[in-house]
Amino acid sequence: MATSLTNEEINRYSRHLIMPEVGVAGQLKLKNAKVLLIGTGGLGAPVAMYLAAAGVGKLGLVDFDTVDVSNLQRQVIHGTKDVGKKKVDSAEETMKDINPFIEIVKYEVPLTSANALDIIKEYDIVADGTDNFPTRFLVNDACVLLGIPNVYASIFRFEGQATVFCKDEGPCYRCLYPEPPPPGLVPSCAEGGVLGILPGVVGLIQATEVIKLILGEGQPLQGRLMLYDALAMKFRELKIRRNPECQGKCTVVKELIDYQQFCGVPHQEAPLPAPVSSTDISPQDVKLMIDAGADFTLVDVREVHEYQICRIEKAQLIPLGELPKRLNELDKNADIVMHCKMGGRSAKACDVLRANGFTKVRNMTGGILAWADKVDPSVPKY
């Protein structure tokens, strides 16, 4: 454990050292602190950069993803030169540039029930910035079992939520939400989109709470759910109460479980493969039908703003949500092919049509992304 700061550190952290709320004692707390960041994406990027800058002595990074060009709209820790690199490597490079005096530990693995306790137990605080429910519940349960505070934040489009779980006698994620939503009902950032600057604001709320917990200063965001709406530019605060059955000791979390199964998801991170059936049709076959002048209707069930990004010329746009009200625009006896971005929504749309008496309905597998890959490379992918 460090008991002093070097002269270089004193120069670097001087704006902290002259504040009574931090001072040398606080800066030493930061230097001796160990914080684990789950995810180095939208939320993880600002958290990692600012905690590195602040001088948090040991920062663990858990991420097995690589940098994609579509990440750069918000994941400011990575740059264009990093596309294709492992996120943990790219993040480490940026953090080391910001502050060479800290230790960075990289875990290039998915967090699982098998490794979570071993990884998390080495740290004082966890900052959860993942993007899926199974990992959210896994991180929570591991923190409950180990008694380690979990600084939580999540984002969607232009809204964010943040709080501190598992601190002392405070509530945990399961006190707030006992169960995950069924798969498909709550869209992820990849499906629903996210305003690029949103994780900056919400991630820094997370980083702020981490710093406060280390310093032991201020009122932690514990037992309070902070809601942020970027469009309205409003912050609201709601109470989070500990499950009354868990006073003193958690009665819900006994051990780590199979979180994929708990959340009803077949495989972590993998996009749901569209099941192949006789009602599926490949993009190549759709192209053959178009070229042959076949008499069929091609329906695009994506949203208007997606249609504006790219489209298949023949397609008629009816967003999935409007489909039930717009069935009269389609002929029940026509040969109909449905498509969306990746094939998931159009499969649902096919079900809607069949339930309403349409008989010749097929789903274009892989959606317009597969069309771009296999038929028309001039179509941009998003």
Partner 1 sequence: MPKILIPTPLRQFADKKDAVEVSGSTVGEALGALTAAYPDMKKNLFNDEGKLRSFVNVYVNDEDIRFLEKDKTAVADSDTISIVPSIAGGR
177 binds partner 1, rule: CB under 8 A = yes
CB of 129 to partner 1, least distance (A): 4
189 catalytic? Reply is: yes
Options 44, 170, 283, 366; binder of partner 1; rule CB under 8 A: 44
Return the closest-CA partner of residue 216 out of 149, 294, 120, 153: 149
Distance CA 56, CA 54 (A): 6
- Containing H/E element for 107? strand 103-107
105 binds partner 1, rule: CB under 8 A = no
Options 154, 260, 346, 365; binder of partner 1; rule CB under 8 A: 154
CB of 74 to partner 1, least distance (A): 9
3-state SS assignment for residue 186: coil
Give the amino acid at 240: I
175 catalytic? Reply is: no
Options 90, 94, 99, 130; binder of partner 1; rule CB under 8 A: 130
225 binds partner 1, rule: CB under 8 A = yes
Contacts of 269 (CB under 8 A, 6+ apart): 110, 132
132 binds partner 1, rule: CB under 8 A = yes
Distance CA 168, CA 9 (A): 32
Return the closest-CA partner of residue 194 out of 223, 165, 155: 155
Name the residue nearer to partner 1 (CB basis): 27 or 154. Answer: 154
Q: How does DSSP assign 212-275, residue by residue?
A: HHHHT-S--SBSEEEEEETTTTEEEEEE-PPPGGGSSS-SS--S---HHHHTT-SSSSPPPPPP
Contacts with partner 1: how many residues (CB under 8 A)?
A: 48
Name the residue nearer to partner 1 (CB basis): 39 or 283. Answer: 39
Part in contact with partner 1 (CB under 8 A); list of ranges 25-33, 230-238, 252-260, 349-357: 230-238
Active site (catalytic) residues: 189, 340
Judged by the rule CB under 8 A, the positions of this chain that interact with partner 1 are: 39, 41-44, 65, 71, 75, 128-133, 136, 153-159, 161, 176-181, 185-190, 192, 194, 199, 225, 227, 232, 236-241, 321
